[in-house]
Amino acid sequence: MVAAGADLFGGGPQAVRLSPGADAAGFRDAVRRLAAAAVPPERVIWSVGEAPGLFGTPEAVTDAPALALPRGVGDLVTKVVPHRDPERYALLYTLVWRVLHGERRLLEVSSDPLVHRLERMAKAIARDLHKMHAFLRFRRVEGEGPERFVAWFEPDHHILAAAAPFFVGRFRSLHWTILTPEASARWDTVDLSFGPPGRREDAPATDGFEAGWRDYYESTFNPARTNLAAMRAEMPKKYWRNMPETAAIPGLVRAAAARTETMIERVPQPAIKRDPVRAVAAMADQAPESLEALNAIIRRSEPLVPGATQAVLGEGPLGAPIAFVGEQPGDQEDRQGRPFVGPAGQLLSRAMAEAGIVRGEAYLTNAVKHFKFEQRGKRRIHQNPTAGEVSHYRWWLERELDFVAPRLVVALGATAVLALAGRAIPVTRARGPADFGKGYSGFITVHPSYLLRLPDGAKDEAYAAFVADLRRVGEVARELAGGP
């Protein structure tokens, strides 16, 4: 940012000049110093261009402290700064000033003219980013050295810096350059840098890949669904000359009516009838025939929610009299590849020992086989699986228990109950023996992680009740075995 002051923090107008484009850093510094000097919005004249100094000379004013603003205000500033409206900085400073002077919840008043206008500007930026993500096309540059790709794009606003990280994530292994009329972005597989404006003629007009892409686009074009208004709404014509498939659209549209009539006149072909008995038999032949085969399938499967290091399989002997089913692996389980080895697992082992259940003689597994978490700094914070995720893993759990064939299955917590019973059942109300409608008896109790989350004053009593549940589990298992 560069700025010049007509009256350095005095009573006259303050002229602030920012760098061209989206000068977020310059605007932030200017706002901090204006606010520290209690300069109201009506005394600030904002402009964009090149000029030396900051309120006179940079050395004359020390850095102002950061402002304590609601997060939503900072987010809105970040979204609106790239807008092309020359009044954006004045509007944003007015917003900051009002928030700092008693209107902390201003953003909640959507009917406020200032808030309404800024929110519309933020939506315009979001639309422009979406268009750039969707309609920018890279083309290969012929020549020696690493394979390079160049794209030309004309955004409506100053969004290049905000849009570039998306393409870094999408094309991380490629060398590419994005040219726009006001700046350029370059990625060399390591560093992202920004440079001067580009020209349309600096980007290739086409490359070898586009002919194949046009053929594919033409083969998938459905003439019966041609809607020019919808096409223009979703893909404005200003972007057409940058996209290879659009060269085929005029011809496809002209031929749409004739192709549609041909489709209508074509005699419908009856559907091929399949023998359901043979289909079911074929599916049965593909099912795993052992726990080892099932575990091999689980190991090869990608996590439903990305991020887990590995699938965490069940542990224990086939024919174990008791199977314990938990929710999902935790951080330590994901790292070690074993169930119930973290803090909750250690608590379970201690309670089992006090209840007279030998852990090595029981089977331990989870309803969900992969760790779901939220990254917070260096920590991975456990996230509860959704009902859809539990349903996704349910077939595996049922086959697993079929192979283990326990006499009693213990559901540890609500997620395990949902997986075993197929419906949500309150754990506190149904605690004790249960019927899951399977070929084994059931028992419901809390998950040991629940005990870890209790306040210290309630932990001892809850732990004693948990141990009592496990003693009852042991008694039920012995009764089912016909023992004393």
Spell out the per-residue pLDDT of the chain, length 484, in tens.
445 454 545 567 889 999 999 999 999 999 999 999 999 999 999 999 864 433 433 333 446 888 989 999 999 999 999 999 999 999 999 999 999 999 999 999 989 999 999 999 999 999 999 999 988 888 888 776 778 899 999 999 999 999 999 999 988 988 999 999 999 999 999 999 999 999 988 888 776 556 555 665 666 666 666 666 666 666 666 666 666 666 666 666 676 666 666 666 665 655 555 555 555 555 555 678 899 999 999 998 888 777 788 999 999 999 999 999 999 999 999 999 999 999 999 999 999 999 999 999 999 999 999 999 988 888 888 888 888 889 889 989 999 999 999 999 999 999 999 999 988 899 988 999 999 988 899 999 999 999 999 998 899 999 999 999 999 999 999 999 876 6
| HSE (side-chain half, CA atoms, 13 Å) at 451 | 22
Torsion of CA 81, 85, 88, 90, to 10 degrees: 150
For residue 46, give the nearest of 98, 77, 88, 97 by alpha carbon. Answer: 88
Q: What is the pLDDT of residue 376?
A: 87
Contact (CB, 8 A) for 4 and 35: no
Amino acid at 65: P
The H-assigned helical ranges of 136-184 are 160-170
End-to-end CA distance of the chain: 83
Q: Which sign does the torsion angle of CA 226, 230, 236, 237 carry?
A: positive
∠ CA(214), CA(139), CA(208), 5° rounding?
A: 50
Q: Which sign does the torsion angle of CA 338, 343, 348, 353 carry?
A: positive
Torsion of CA 149, 152, 157, 160, to 10 degrees: 20
Q: Helix or strand or coil: residue 363? A: strand
Write the CB contacts of 84 (distance below 8 Å, at least 6 apart in sequence): 156, 157, 158
pTM above 0.85, yes or no: no
Write the CB contacts of 267 (distance below 8 Å, at least 6 apart in sequence): none
* C-alpha pair distances (Å), 408 with each of 316, 420, 480: 14, 12, 8
Write the CB contacts of 336 (distance below 8 Å, at least 6 apart in sequence): none
Q: What is the pLDDT of residue 120?
A: 95
Q: What is the DSSP string of 277-324?
A: HHHHHHHHHHS-SSHHHHHHHHHHSPPSSTT-SS----BS-TT-SEEE
CA distance 459 to 383: 22
CA distance 294 to 69: 54
Contact (CB, 8 A) for 411 and 437: no
Q: Are strands 148-152 and 139-141 parallel, antiparallel or unpaired?
A: antiparallel
For residue 103, give the nearest of 95, 114, 92, 93 by alpha carbon. Answer: 95
Q: Helix or strand or coil: residue 301? A: coil
Q: What is the pLDDT of residue 139?
A: 85
Give the residue extent of every domain in the chain. 14-129, 136-202, 208-263, 287-481
Q: What is the pLDDT of residue 382?
A: 84
CA distance 38 to 35: 5
Amino acid at 306: P
For the domain covering 287-481, report its CATH number. Answer: 3.40.470.10
CA distance 464 to 445: 13
CA distance 286 to 298: 14
